[in-house]
Amino acid sequence: MKEIVIISGKGGTGKTSITASFASFAATKAVLADCDVDAADLHLILKPVIRNRTEFRSGYKATIKLDKCTGCGKCLELCRFEAVRDVTTWDKLPGIIYTIDPVACEGCGVCVRFCPSQAIDFNEEICGEWFISDTRFGPMVHAKLGIASENSGKLVTLVRKEARRIAQEKGAEYVLIDGSPGIGCPVIASLTAASLALIVTEPTVSGVHDLRRIAMLTKKMGIPAMVCINKWDINQSITEEIRQITDSLGLQFAGLLRYDKAVTASQRQQKTLPEYSSEGVVRDVMNVWECVVGAAEQKGFKKGIDHNGNEH
């Protein structure tokens, strides 16, 4: 079983449209995982029917018991996350007590532990929900991070673990993972120990810049990576530059996807690209899929990628 992660560094390059198309091509041989837990969109195309929902509990938040707070200010002094705010009170001396801004609270527990009046509670947080669902292309695991919640990396890890478990149970050949933009904690959690990463970029100066950074991350983590260029015909000279960068970084090239209005049109009809059309960009995505599957099956793919991850 291979875990294929679709990532991009830069947002909005087409990860979700490509993941949904791959789900179509893989027919029922894949389990799908939406690991973009703070802006999930894959469900808009795959329309999952939720079979199982579970609360995601992770981390703690501090709350000051106003009746016990003496206003000594120890929490304000110790908190490094600017989460302690003062409140004027007319009920007691010295006239100031403190509250915790739940959004800024990092859940470290320092104020709880060192409050001389034991006036601070520390409660486990519900940070969202995750789901096991059925789609027309097979099982899907997805999640919704709570509003202004933390721990997206842990939620990604949980979603992937469930997807892997289901894939093993069903004997599925692939887990297809829709990743999030950036290079931080949810992306690292999406990539850890994956079989292959497909980096989706676009021919813009931002696309090039962000490709270099995400490629350095995959190298550093030892994850084999391939590159495809979406909307390649928007700027052909930058497309050429990306092909050269791909070579120089020792990454495999997975193909070019043309600019095609069918991408948004299919999205509006809640269809994957292959369900919407059999021409234009769909053929390009098909070629990329074949390339990715070929690479995932090929042994020793990791050869040719050096692991020293320096930024250049």
Partner 1 sequence: MKIAVASGKGGTGKTTISTNLALYVAGQGYDTVYFDCDVEEPNGHLFLRPVITKKEASSIPVPVIDESKCNACGECVRFCEYKALVRLGKIVMVFPELCHGCGGCTIGCPNHAIQEQEREIGIIEAGQSGKVGFVHGRMNIGEAMSPPLIRDVLQQIPNKEVNIIDAPPGTSCPVIASIRDTDFVVLVTEPTPFGLNDLGLALDMIRELGIPHGVVVNRAEDGNRDAESFCEKRQVEILAQIADDRRIAECYSKGELILIGVPGVQKRFEELWQAIRKRLMA
Smallest separation (angstroms) from partner 1 to the CB of 249: 13
Residue 302 is classified by DSSP as T
State how far the Cα of 19 lies from the Cα of 131, in Å rounded to an integer: 18
Smallest separation (angstroms) from partner 1 to the CB of 11: 1
Smallest separation (angstroms) from partner 1 to the CB of 278: 22
Q: Which is nearer to partner 1, 49 or 104 (CB)?
A: 104
Q: Which of 87, 85, 81 is nearest to 107 (CA)?
A: 81
Smallest separation (angstroms) from partner 1 to the CB of 264: 5
Q: Which is nearer to partner 1, 101 or 297 (CB)?
A: 101
Smallest separation (angstroms) from partner 1 to the CB of 124: 11
Q: Which is nearer to partner 1, 153 or 274 (CB)?
A: 153
Which DSSP string do the residues of 53-96 spell out, in sequence order? EEEEEEEEEEEE-TTT-----HHHHH-SSS-EEEEE-SSSTTSE
CB 229 within 8 A of CB 202: yes
Binding residues for partner 1, rule: CB under 8 A, are: 8-13, 16, 38-39, 41, 44, 59-60, 78, 80-82, 103-104, 106-110, 113-114, 145, 147-150, 152-153, 180-188, 202-206, 209-210, 213-214, 216-217, 220-221, 234-235, 238, 264, 267-268, 270, 309, 311
Q: Give CA separation, 279 vs 127, 146, 257, 284, 296, in Å.
A: 42, 39, 12, 9, 26
Q: Which is nearer to partner 1, 202 or 260 (CB)?
A: 202
CB 284 within 8 A of CB 255: yes
